[in-house]
Structure 1
């Protein structure tokens, strides 16, 4: 049996030559491209260097400085704080902004520049022209901020959903016996500072707080009657919500606008609404504690269950707030508010709150809180005081 198909050696040899040439050309192109990429790739910046007064050196990254304390991060020793009297020289490739003591921070006041430190003086220079922009003696330095942080915290304007901190809490109590009970508690406490870093003076502060306690207890009639008597049901429903926006006029004095809503079934209060504006003052503030006082003038509307009549009031809120970080990062908070009315002095209310938040695992904490609400004019047949003690679990947002 014969075949009409015959191999053509010259034809196949030409194909192999073509494939070889194509492979050679492709390899050359890849090699040249890799060389171009390697040449165009930015060189890794040199590490920052601290030269100590004793001659030792430490490489790493300068993060910031507050007063005469420089925060430096190194792969060898981690983050450390070095005082200026121990530094002979400091060289960094980053761009920074230096704010002097008493200098007012504005959104257009500074441009980040390269820095060097020598002889107790910080020198800021334009990297493109090497022109000295400013010199700041370390004794006059308030804060040294890296360019990225300055752009975000000072010149930037965060969106409404950015930079919120705080926590979300919840708890539940269940009873399954002759009585059947359910109690649920939930709380949301949010705060946003602009700027969000502690070493810059605050421009604005926003707070949002929500608290809901709902409970239902079913109790059968014992002994049961004939015909049967329906079970008795007791309900608890306490809701509070408030929001406030603060605008700082000075590092301690701020103006405020706020609103709050309250519903308290235990006092026959269907809804209390407050809308007002006022001023506040930070009495003292340290890294571990802060104490603020506030006062406002507001409109207040109280709506009660019938037959009690609703009221329209012009009043004020006088508030004090305190928080402190205890050992082991336990957070203690306390606040008290007295709310008199000016058009009817016989009507007033007061709120006292206190709480502990104890970290347990990562962002989870065990929380204990109490709240006491007093209302001088509760609905007919209801008590004037409502007290809550709540335990739960809190998840911190940051």
Structure 2
């Protein structure tokens, strides 16, 4: 007969006022711990209000003068008393840390996955997929759609540990085609006219953090914009980023890079003396940009970004981009996306406008 497994033992907090609480230690940050119990839920308790703490789980303590990515520890049982945290060691000599030196208390599972080992490339991805479409079937025939992917991989995946790396990937495609017949029709018949829109953007960035606020970055991006006569723009570069504002509600990033930029343009058909070939651009320039994220009431998410890209070897060939969006929750992981994007290209192909503005509504599915 199978034996029922014994229920796991609870951790116990004894407060300085004599009260006692049982539950589970989740983590510790600075001079406070996060404790979860059936009666009080998840609460944050300053260690100054605790007389004694006994845990039956295994934990690792990172001190303030240590970098979490460079620490090798053996998890052990945790106790707290007299303003000192003690971690039992397999070697038999316990490790004692004064409260003033505490940086993080990490459970064994999180330590093994997020600190002691480098997670695989497929681990930790989060983000969203969006899409929308419009069909017209009448005298006019029209089809338009938009699709987007926004992915982010932040390591560690737990937010309370200092960041090590961050990888982002974005893709956006807007395509439309409208066919209009000639009315009244001529003899012989005149082919219908077509109007086409195709705007494509994709980018990827990898950040390596020196500290929680400052990081180095490498990036690449590809753009195609039929509305500006841009056949393909390629950017490859590297630089630095700074996060001056970071809270659970909002985050602001400032970035600057040096990059190589190549632009090829849609050519006139046919190419003649009156319609010469549009020369390609090979540019060395920089990107100066900012990105802002804020969680609004009702789980509404606001995002905004803006960048300007000057070119050093051709000052007239500068460009800029600005975007803003709202994600309005509707049902579980599904939300309504409202997004506006403005692209500016100071030297588009001949006959094309410099500015390209889009306002897109879409259905957004959040992956996690």
Q: TM-score range by the shorter chain?
A: over 0.9
Q: TM-score, normalised by structure 1?
A: 0.86
- Which whole-Å deviations, capped at 9, do the CAs of 1:342-363 have from their partners, x for residues lacking one? 1111111101011111222111
**Which of 371, 376, 381 in structure 1 is aligned with 2:346?**
376
Q: 1:185 aligns with which of 136, 143, 146?
A: 146
Is structure 2 residue 189 aligned with structure 1 residue 238?
Answer: no
The structure 2 residue matched to 1:60, chosen from 18, 23, 38, is 23
Aligned CA RMSD, in angstroms, stands at: 1.8
Aligned to 1:109: 72
1:45 counterpart = 2:15: no
* Stretch of structure 1 that moved more, 176-185 or 343-352: 176-185
Aligned to 1:196: 157
Quote the residue 2:38 is aligned against: 75
Alpha-carbon distance between aligned partners in 2 of 1:382 and 1:236, rounded to the nearest angstrom: 13
Shift of residue 388, structure 1, vs aligned partner:
0.5
Greater fraction of residues in helix: 1
Aligned-partner Cα distance in 2 for 1:212–1:93: 52
The DSSP-based 3-state class of the residue aligned with 1:167 is strand
Q: Which residue of 1 aligns with 2:239?
A: 278
Alpha-carbon distance in structure 1 between the residues aligned to 2:354 and 2:97:
64
Task: Summarize the alignment of residues 220-239 of structure 1 with structure 2, pairs less than 5 Å apart.
Answer: 220-239=181-200
Which residue does the alignment assign to 2:56?
93
| Displacement of 1:100 | 2.5
Matched, 1:297 2:258: yes
SS at match of 1:321: strand
How far apart are the structure 1 equivalents of 2:327 and 2:60?
A: 37
Matched with 1:136 is 98
Aligned runs of 1:25-44 on 2, under 5 Å? 34=1, 43-44=6-7
Q: List runs of 5+ in structure 1 lacking aligned partners.
A: 1-33
Name the CA distance, whole Å, in 1 between partners of 2:213 and 2:65: 14
Change (3 A) 1:257 1:188: same
The answer to whether the 8 Å contact 1:98/1:136 transfers is no
Q: CA deviation at 1:391?
A: 0.6
Q: CA deviation at 1:43?
A: 4.8
Instruction: Please report the TM-score for the alignment, with normalisation by the length of structure 2.
Output: 0.93
Distance in 1 (CA, whole Å) between partners of 2:15 and 2:346 is: 67
CA contact 2:72–2:116 (8 Å) conserved in 1 = no
Residue 156 of structure 1 pairs with residue 117 of structure 2: yes
Pairing partner for 1:330 from 300, 304, 307: 300
CA distance, structure 1, for counterparts of residue 65 and residue 151 of structure 2: 30
Shift of 1:338: 0.6
Question: Is 1:120 equivalent to 2:120 in the alignment?
Answer: no
Task: Tell me the secondary structure at the aligned position of residue 54 of structure 2.
Answer: strand
CA contact (8 A) 2:177 2:197 kept: yes
Q: What is the SS of the residue equivalent to 1:94?
A: strand
| Deviation, structure 1 residue 78 | 2.7
Q: Measure the CA separation in 1 of the matches of 2:364 and 2:317.
A: 35
Unaligned residue ranges in structure 2 (runs of 5+)? 268-276
